[in-house]
Amino acid sequence: MTLRGIDFSKLSLKDALDLAILIEEEAQERYDEFSDQMDIHRTPEAAAFFRTMSGNEQRHGEELRKRRERLFPKEPRTVNRSMIFDIEAPDYDQARAFMTPRQAMQSALRSEEKAHAFFVAALPQIGDAEVRALFGELRDEEVEHQDLVKRAMAKLPPDSGPPPEGFVDDPVAQ
């Protein structure tokens, strides 16, 4: 998780909303990539889960976009994607061929925890009261997202491990 060129003490509400939208967009795109990878590598259950996560991120992003449009219609965006890396998006090495739904959910849970940690770390640095309120809200939402994933995990049967016929050679890190 990396930030570049963001001074939280001077962050405006418009920029904070744009940043939050970019974070959701990045996460949505990553989950799309993961679901494609799982499809290609014949791991349909994990693919379906990542697709669900992508849909969740898209919804969150849409809610933020509508809010931004209401408050700052037609004002151009001044923050961009080069300022954020993997804030909420799962790290690329979280995906594995033949990963179980539980493993897929664990990777999503780690991502939600990462995003929560980001907002927690940013809050003390924020100067603007409205931005602080927004980040507090986003922090609390990440807790809700974590609970959603945990509830889904609780419904899963225990993992039985990857199918032995899935590998020709024992993979080193799969």
Partner 1 sequence: MTPTAPSAEAFQPKDYKSDLKPIWCPGCGDYGVVQAIYRALAAIGRPPHEIAFISGIGCSSRIPGYTSAYGFNSVHGRALPIAQGIKIARPDLLVLAAGGDGDGFSIGGNHVPHTIRRNLDLTYIVMDNQIYGLTKGQLSPTSPRGRETVTSAYGSMEAPVNPLLYVLAFGAPFVAQGTPADMAGLASIIEEGIRYPGFAFINVESPCVTYGEEDHQLKDHRAAMIPLQSLGHDPSSRIKAMDLAQEYGTKLYTGVFYRNPTPPPTFEALTRERQEKLSAGAPPREKILDLFIQR
Residues that bind partner 1 (CB under 8 A): 2, 4, 29, 33-34, 36-38, 40-41, 43, 80-82, 85-86, 91-97, 99, 168-169, 171-174
Closest approach of Cβ 81 to partner 1, in Å? 6
Between residues 9 and 174, which has the closer beta carbon with respect to partner 1? 174
Q: How many CB atoms lie within 10 A of CB 158?
A: 7
Closest approach of Cβ 130 to partner 1, in Å? 25
Task: Spell out the long-range contacts of 151-160 with Cβ–Cβ below 8 A and sequence spacing 24 or more.
Answer: 152/105, 153/102, 153/105, 153/106, 153/109, 156/101, 156/102, 156/105, 159/100, 159/102, 159/103
Q: Collapse the DSSP code of 2 into the 3-class scheme (helix H, G, I; strand E, B; otherwise coil) and give the result.
A: strand
Between residues 96 and 116, which has the closer beta carbon with respect to partner 1? 96
Amino acid 126 reads: I
Q: How many CB atoms lie within 10 A of CB 55?
A: 13
Closest approach of Cβ 170 to partner 1, in Å? 10
Closest approach of Cβ 42 to partner 1, in Å? 11
Between residues 4 and 155, which has the closer beta carbon with respect to partner 1? 4
